Amino acid sequence: MRTTLAGEYLCKSGISTSVTCGTVDYSDDDYGHQKVSKIINDHSIFPDYYQDGDSGAIVFDPANLYIVGIHSGGEVPTGEGITFGYFTRSWEVEDHFSTSGNLFRVYTNDTYVKVSN
């Protein structure tokens, strides 16, 4: 199982902000009822890491082009001018929805065929 490490550079592809990137600050924090990792926006390149509408976007490793997680929220601390994003790691989503007889996979199609509307 892959782990997300502090200091890792990851990107998100959201409907509102398109592709934005940042550095993982920490992993395994509680955000509501889920374990999340926190990304600090690369503010020198991207003005906002996230905006409303980005929830559910994939978080990916731009160097290796694989999915790491699913964007689940964020915040803009007052007066700091830096946006933060939170994501749930993909293997934790898979573990949550899998049963002993039925494994759930976030993405399994490698044929580049549209699988849903």
pLDDT at 11: 93
Task: State both tokens at 110.
Answer: 């490698």
Query: What is the tens place of the pLDDT at every residue in 17-75?
Result: 889 999 998 876 666 666 788 888 887 777 788 888 898 899 998 988 888 888 988 87
Q: Is the pLDDT of residue 107 over 70?
A: no
Q: Which of 68, 75, 8, 29 is nearest to 48 (CA)?
A: 75
3-state helix, strand, coil in the chain (%, to 5): 5, 45, 50
pLDDT at 29: 66
Decide: 55 and 43 in contact? Cβ < 8 Å.
Answer: no
Higher pLDDT, residue 93 or 20: 20
Domains of the chain with CATH codes: 9-97 (2.40.10.10)
